[in-house]
Chain A
Amino acid sequence: MKKFVNDPKNYVAEMLEGVALANPGRLRYVPEYNLIMRTDAPREDKVSIVQGSGSGHEPAHVMAVGRGMLDAACPGDVFAAPPMDYVYETAKLLASPKGVLLLVNNYTGDRMAFDMGREMAEADGVTAEILTINDDVAVQDSTYTVGRRGVAGNFFVIKAVGAASEQGADMAEVLRIGRKVNDVTRTMGVALTACTPPAKGSPLFELGGDEIEFGVGIHGEPGRERRKIKDADAILDDMLEAVAGDLPYESGDRVALMINGLGGTPISELYILYRHAHRRLADRGITVGRSYVNEYCTSLDMAGASLTLVRLDDEIDGLLGAPAEVAARVF
Chain B
Amino acid sequence: MIGNALPGAELVVRTIAETAIENEKYFGDLDAVVGDGDLGYSLARGFEKLLDGWDAIDRSDAGTFLKRAGMILASRIGGTSGPLWGTAFLRAGAAAGTAADLTGAQVVAMVRAAVEGIKARGQSDVGDKTLLDALVPLADRLEREFAAGAGPGDALRAAAVTTREAAEATSGMVAKRGRAAYTGERSRGSVDAGATAVAVIVERISETWQRQGATS
- Expressed in whole angstroms, the Cα–Cα distance for A84 and B87 within the complex equals 12
A120: Cβ under 8 A from any B Cβ: yes
- Assuming the contacts A83-B75, A84-B74, A84-B75, asked whether A120 and B121 have C-beta atoms less than 8 A apart, the reply is no
Q: Which of B64-78 contact A (CB under 8 A)?
A: 67, 70-71, 74-75
- Assuming the contacts A84-B75, A88-B71, A123-B71, asked whether A116 and B83 have C-beta atoms less than 8 A apart, the reply is yes
Name the B residues within 8 Å of A120 (CB-CB).
Answer: 70-71, 74, 86, 90
Cβ contact within 8 Å between A115 and B71: no
A85: Cβ under 8 A from any B Cβ: yes
Most buried by B among A112, A115, A119: A119
- Expressed in whole angstroms, the Cα–Cα distance for A120 and B121 within the complex equals 13
Cβ contact within 8 Å between B75 and A119: no
Cβ contact within 8 Å between B74 and A115: no
Name the B residues within 8 Å of A85 (CB-CB).
Answer: 71, 75
Complex partner residue of B93 from A83, A116, A123, CB under 8 angstroms: A123
Interface residues on A, range: 10 to 19
B94: Cβ under 8 A from any A Cβ: yes
Residue of B nearest to A86 (CB): B75
Name the B residues within 8 Å of A112 (CB-CB).
Answer: 80, 83, 121
Name the B residues within 8 Å of A83 (CB-CB).
Answer: 75
- Expressed in whole angstroms, the Cα–Cα distance for A112 and B122 within the complex equals 9
- Expressed in whole angstroms, the Cα–Cα distance for A173 and B74 within the complex equals 31
Name the A residues within 8 Å of B71 (CB-CB).
Answer: 85, 88, 120, 123
Cβ contact within 8 Å between A123 and B67: yes
Interface of A is mostly: helix
A261 to chain B, nearest CB (A): 35
- Expressed in whole angstroms, the Cα–Cα distance for A88 and B93 within the complex equals 17
Name the B residues within 8 Å of A88 (CB-CB).
Answer: 71, 75
Cβ contact within 8 Å between A116 and B67: no
A74 to chain B, nearest CB (A): 15
Q: Which of A231-285 contact B (CB under 8 A)?
A: none
- Expressed in whole angstroms, the Cα–Cα distance for A266 and B121 within the complex equals 42
- Expressed in whole angstroms, the Cα–Cα distance for A323 and B190 within the complex equals 61
Name the A residues within 8 Å of B87 (CB-CB).
Answer: 116, 119
Cβ contact within 8 Å between B86 and A116: yes
- Expressed in whole angstroms, the Cα–Cα distance for A112 and B75 within the complex equals 12
Q: Which of A110-129 contact B (CB under 8 A)?
A: 112, 115-116, 119-120, 123
Residue of A nearest to B68 (CB): A123
- Expressed in whole angstroms, the Cα–Cα distance for A43 and B83 within the complex equals 30
- Expressed in whole angstroms, the Cα–Cα distance for A116 and B71 within the complex equals 9
- Expressed in whole angstroms, the Cα–Cα distance for A116 and B88 within the complex equals 11
Most buried by B among A112, A115, A123: A123
B4 to chain A, nearest CB (A): 22
- Expressed in whole angstroms, the Cα–Cα distance for A116 and B91 within the complex equals 12
Q: Which of A207-224 contact B (CB under 8 A)?
A: none
A59 to chain B, nearest CB (A): 29
Cβ contact within 8 Å between B94 and A116: no
Name the B residues within 8 Å of A115 (CB-CB).
Answer: 83, 121
- Expressed in whole angstroms, the Cα–Cα distance for A312 and B94 within the complex equals 43
Most buried by A among B74, B86, B121: B74
Name the A residues within 8 Å of B93 (CB-CB).
Answer: 123
Residue of B nearest to A120 (CB): B71
What 0/1 readout, one digit per residue, does chain A (72-91) give for beta carbons within 8 Å of chain B?
A: 00000000000111001000
Residue of A nearest to B67 (CB): A123
Most buried by A among B75, B86, B87: B75
- Expressed in whole angstroms, the Cα–Cα distance for A115 and B87 within the complex equals 10
- Expressed in whole angstroms, the Cα–Cα distance for A84 and B83 within the complex equals 9
- Expressed in whole angstroms, the Cα–Cα distance for A244 and B111 within the complex equals 49
Q: Which of B119-156 contact A (CB under 8 A)?
A: 121
Q: Which of A64-104 contact B (CB under 8 A)?
A: 83-85, 88
Q: Which of A150-180 contact B (CB under 8 A)?
A: none
- Expressed in whole angstroms, the Cα–Cα distance for A85 and B80 within the complex equals 15
- Expressed in whole angstroms, the Cα–Cα distance for A115 and B67 within the complex equals 15
Name the B residues within 8 Å of A119 (CB-CB).
Answer: 87, 90
- Expressed in whole angstroms, the Cα–Cα distance for A131 and B70 within the complex equals 24
- Expressed in whole angstroms, the Cα–Cα distance for A304 and B177 within the complex equals 36
Q: Which of B29-74 contact A (CB under 8 A)?
A: 67, 70-71, 74
- Expressed in whole angstroms, the Cα–Cα distance for A116 and B80 within the complex equals 11
Q: Nearest 4 A-B pairs (CB), nearest first?
A: A85-B75, A123-B67, A116-B83, A120-B71
List 8 additional A-B contacts (Cβ < 8 Å) besides A115-B121, A116-B87.
A84-B75, A84-B83, A85-B71, A88-B71, A116-B74, A119-B87, A120-B71, A123-B94
| B interface residues (Cβ-Cβ under 8 A, vs A) | 67, 70-71, 74-75, 80, 82-83, 86-87, 90, 93-94, 121
A-B contact pairs, 17 of them (CB 8 A): A84-B74, A84-B75, A84-B82, A84-B83, A85-B71, A112-B80, A115-B83, A116-B74, A116-B87, A120-B70, A120-B71, A120-B86, A123-B67, A123-B70, A123-B71, A123-B90, A123-B94
